[in-house]
Amino acid sequence: MKSGKTTGLVYSTESGRMCPDCRRALGECTCKGGQSAVILGDGKVSVSRQTKGRGGKCVTVVKGLALDAIALAALGKQLRSACGSGGTVKDGVIEVQGDHCELVMDWLTKQGHKPKRTGG
């Protein structure tokens, strides 16, 4: 065990995951206001199609949206519903399963973003 670093409760069966900073349940976290307001993208929205590292499966990737984590997750859910497929949002990147580049670009344009197609 490393010395000098305080360890604390990470998970509780009563309240679930615990915040490492304020040591409260994530739902009652007092320090989450500063974390959720962090904008993850740079505002240059790019849409691309990737298959690398996915066993040959195609994924549409949206990067650069200038939104915080909560707004990005909500937008990801709306995009997945519009495309009728699954996907995820992680590290400021929205991934939608399947080749939906044109549909995603049209949908983002209607929402007021200016996406650009990148890649092949």
Mean pLDDT of all residues belonging to the chain = 81
Query: In the prediction, which pLDDT does 1 show?
Result: 47
Q: pLDDT at residue 106 above 50?
A: yes
Tokens (6 digits) for 32: 């989450």
Query: In the prediction, which pLDDT does 92 show?
Result: 87
Helices (H) and strands (E) in the chain, counts: 3, 7
Written as one string, the DSSP assignment of 1-47 is: --SSS-----EETTTEEB-TTT-SBGGG-SSHHHHHT-----S--EE
| CATH 1.10.10.10 is held by the domain 46-117 | no
Query: In the prediction, which pLDDT does 40 show?
Result: 65
- Give the tens place of pLDDT for each residue, 31-79: 754 454 566 677 789 999 999 888 889 999 999 998 888 889 999 999 9
Query: In the prediction, which pLDDT does 56 show?
Result: 87
Q: Residues near 35 by Cβ (< 8 Å), separated by ≥ 6?
A: 69
Delimit the CATH 3.30.780.10 region(s) of the chain.
46-117
State how far the Cα of 62 lies from the Cα of 115, in Å rounded to an integer. Answer: 9
Tokens (6 digits) for 73: 């997750």
